[in-house]
Amino acid sequence: MQLQLVCFDVVCNQMQFTLRQNNLVCNEMQFYLYFYKMEQQSKDPLHGKRLDTILEELVEYYQGFGELGKQINIKCFTDNPSINSSLKFLRKTDWARTKVESLYLYVLRQKKKEARNKEE
């Protein structure tokens, strides 16, 4: 517990320096909330991932659109598929994007399992 508090103080001091450089003034509660938000964002595996990167990784993992189309039955994956046409559709269609993001999270978990099994 003490170690976590020390680390928190170090991070806070670094962030405070950054905030001072930018001429921003904040109280301790605002500072804590800022740190908490940064901590939460970093835990989200989708944070900072672009949709095109996600799609390319899925196509590579499933070795083409054929297998990806079997996992998610969306016309942009099964009928004359391409990265660009799929991106256009996914950017306009929330339900399809949600399915792709969900499959990506599943693939990340599978890759971690495979890596652990190789270590054993």
Residue 84 confidence (pLDDT): 96
Residue 7 confidence (pLDDT): 36
Phi and psi dihedrals of 75, rounded to 5? Answer: -55, -35
Residue 120 confidence (pLDDT): 76
Ranges of residues in the chain whose predicted pLDDT is under 50: 1-24
Residue 44 confidence (pLDDT): 84
- CA dist list (Å): 35 to 14, 25, 50: 11, 15, 24
**Is the pTM for the entire model greater than 0.85?**
no
CATH superfamily of 51-119: SAP domain (1.10.720.30)
Residue 29 confidence (pLDDT): 56
Residue 104 confidence (pLDDT): 97
Residue 19 confidence (pLDDT): 46
Domain range annotation of the chain:
2-43, 51-119
